[in-house]
Structure 1
Amino acid sequence: MNFLFISENLPIDTYASEVVFYRHFKKLVENGHSVHILTDQNSYTNRKKDLWSKFKVHILPNRKWYYLPFKPFGILKYIRFSHYYYTYTKNLIVEQKINKLIGYISGNFLMAFAAFVQKKTSLPLISFFHDDTNELNFDDDKKSINHNTIEILNASAKVFIASEAFKTNWSKYSHKFCLLYPIPTDNITSKSIYPKLTNLEIGYSGSVYNEILPSLEKFSGYLAEMNANLTIIGNNEAVYQLSTQYKQVTCLPMFDTAKEANNYLIVNCNICLIAYPENMIDMPWIKTCFPSKFIQYCMLGLPTLIIAPIDSALGKWCTQNSWILYSEKYDIKLINQLLHQALTNEDVAKQVKHLRNKVFNPNILHQNFEETLIA
């Protein structure tokens, strides 16, 4: 089949949603399908060197001087989208014999254009929904983003969600939702869950939001008493103050790819960490967000200590799945006990192995994705 993915977020072997798209779309191509990418000029210019050559990319040009200004609502949106559709998209769909559209519910531009194209063509649209737009956006665009999110949900035949919590937030569309955990990379060399290290070596790799900094600082304050070290691989310069304040903390910049980060964790760590604020009000999007880093940690064969509110998507998952290494609070006594269990309790190893081989298995996840896509 021939698929057209419409988004500013490109399928690239990096992090977050981009790498999820890359892994699924690469497998689609390897399975004989054709994947076309329709994106804007700026997104393409910024990331073109990282795109896989077997993806077929098509560009929507930047605004020319005589274009009316774009607004994500009303007549100005309709005028711009009509121009992009009739000038650049309609013939593309015909010439490339596009069978289905793929969208990504994020932002306020090409998300809405994907819905527009679906209405014009009546082609089936299948969308990814990784982060709830209502929980992420608190600025002046919130109203239009909500409106455009509703538009693409209405236009989508199926929507891949990252956690069951989306069904609560968007109950009207729950019949369209299909749970699909973020796909990890395959062919990972798993590390023994009981590495012979003389100390607790804890690793964190991924985005470090400002909202997480107080939690990481609180956890760092426990390290000396727990005789443990923490390495943070992140993208927030503010986190470096922790390595100055606590000698047990090492901070490293983000690696270019998830593979490099994985290799570091395998060699240098025996436990991984996910540290959310205790109160969901401090980080509202964790109500629906399911962190891909947890899946990646499991694929490495590393146990993960999870500290998260019980009403967050991850907290609910831990409760429902009896995740041994879970705490809803920063209780040093409990955390110390959990870290000890991480290296001594065989049931922890069994949980990680089950997730690695079954629930988060990339081949199983992609099979579910592809079967839904082509149905």
Structure 2
Amino acid sequence: MSQVKFSSEHDILLGVLGEVSNLLMLSIKKLFKIPYYLFYHDDTIFNRYAKLSLLTAEHINKILKAANYIFPVSDSLTSLLKAKGINNAETLYPIPEGYGGPFKAHNNDSPNHLRFCYAGMIMMHVHFDILDNILQAIHQFDGSLYCFTGPLDEFQPKYPENIIIRDLLPTINQLQSFIINNIDVVIVFYSFDLQHEPRMESSFPSKFIEYAQLGIPVLLIAPEYSSLGKWALKNNWISYVNSDDPDIIAGTLMKFKNEEYWKKCQQQVLEHINNEFNPDLIHSNFMKKIVNSSAFNV
């Protein structure tokens, strides 16, 4: 380590809270007096998964106390830290890729056949129930769900004719292009199984912010006690469903056939990407906090 040169005036350390590399960062901070910042993306250090971690509770406490500032991904995580006496923390959303192309117009050619999309990892059986319920809802009006994810060999949907399963695309730009050209509504969901997906209480799906950049309506399906559900209620999200019941989900999905409703949902997305979901604004808030905090008083 003595061969590596650090400057306490010009360098900073960035880490993700909960990773074993935090211990290396902690040593570098102490040795070279370098400011140390942490991103906090998932509640893996305080919930039941903590026992599987490589970091002990003592390690975590040392890391939290040493960090100059922590950037949790949700208000729930920020509150969790402050309840533990960690006040040098402020919510910071993940910075999305961004999108510079034209926004999609309402599909006037075939408004009765809605095309939905989900892209991201499926946590096997944890998400199979909610995914099948969404498909049952889509089947009620003969829509389609394009699902970009890993293999779903064990998934046995009730209506397989309503889902098109694709491999994850190599780049976010390819996914953006497909969604703009082929999709009417993007779906972001959590399971309703808190026992097997405890992270839903405090994590925040970065895919939501990423999808929003396209200016396409985003349907949110999550329990009200989840961080996403709390966010949706706080922001009066128009296309939010707080139930995993197929009939209730279908009731909201079918609203997107109405052009006025679709445009209202799109407008709400556009308002957010011009404000709190704006990548430049997120980056600016991050830089301001680094500059204005007591970071360099290590």
Q: TM-score range by the shorter chain?
A: 0.7 to 0.9
Structure-1 separation of matches of 2:12 and 2:224: 38
> 1:312 pairs with 226, 231, 243, which one?
226
Partner of 2:213: 299
Structure-2 separation of matches of 1:260 and 1:135: 37
> 2:264 pairs with 328, 347, 351, which one?
347
2:123 is the counterpart of 1:196: no
Give the paired residue count. 285
Q: Give unpaired runs (5+ residues) of structure 1.
A: 1-87
Structure-2 separation of matches of 1:101 and 1:143: 20
* CA positional deviation for 1:100: 1.6
Q: Deviation digits for residues 217-275 of structure 1, max 9, x if unmatched?
A: 12112222132110100124346644x95111000111122222221111111101112
Structure-1 separation of matches of 2:109 and 2:8: 55
Q: Give unpaired runs (5+ residues) of structure 2.
A: 293-298
Contact 1:193 1:303 in 2 (8 A): no
> 2:59 pairs with 142, 148, 153, which one?
148
> 1:183 pairs with 73, 95, 115, which one?
95
Query: How has the CA–CA distance of structure 1 residues 227 and 146 changed in structure 2, closer, same or farther, with 3 Å as cutoff?
Result: farther
Query: How has the CA–CA distance of structure 1 residues 271 and 364 changed in structure 2, closer, same or farther, with 3 Å as cutoff?
Result: same
TM-score (norm 2): 0.86
The residue identity in structure 2 corresponding to 1:218 is N
Higher relative contact order (CA 8 A, sep 6+): 2
2:239 is the counterpart of 1:328: no
TM-score (norm 1): 0.70
Structure-2 separation of matches of 1:196 and 1:110: 52
Query: How has the CA–CA distance of structure 1 residues 238 and 274 changed in structure 2, closer, same or farther, with 3 Å as cutoff?
Result: farther
2:131 is the counterpart of 1:216: yes
2:22 is the counterpart of 1:111: yes
List aligned pairs for 1:1-375, cutoff 5 A.
88=1, 90-94=2-6, 98-107=10-19, 109-134=20-45, 138=49, 140-142=51-53, 144-170=55-81, 171-198=83-110, 199-210=113-124, 211-238=126-153, 241-242=156-157, 246-342=160-256, 343-345=259-261, 346-375=263-292
* CA RMSD, 1 decimal: 2.4
* CA positional deviation for 1:294: 0.8
Query: How has the CA–CA distance of structure 1 residues 241 and 265 changed in structure 2, closer, same or farther, with 3 Å as cutoff?
Result: farther
Identity %: 23
SS in 2 for 1:348: helix
* CA positional deviation for 1:158: 0.7
Structure-2 separation of matches of 1:143 and 1:186: 34
SS in 2 for 1:294: helix
Q: Deviation digits for residues 288-345 of structure 1, max 9, x if unmatched?
A: 1111111112111111111101111100000100001111112334323322334432
Contact 2:18 2:55 in 1 (8 A): no
Larger helix share, 1 or 2: 1
Contact 1:213 1:239 in 2 (8 A): no
Query: How has the CA–CA distance of structure 1 residues 269 and 136 changed in structure 2, closer, same or farther, with 3 Å as cutoff?
Result: farther
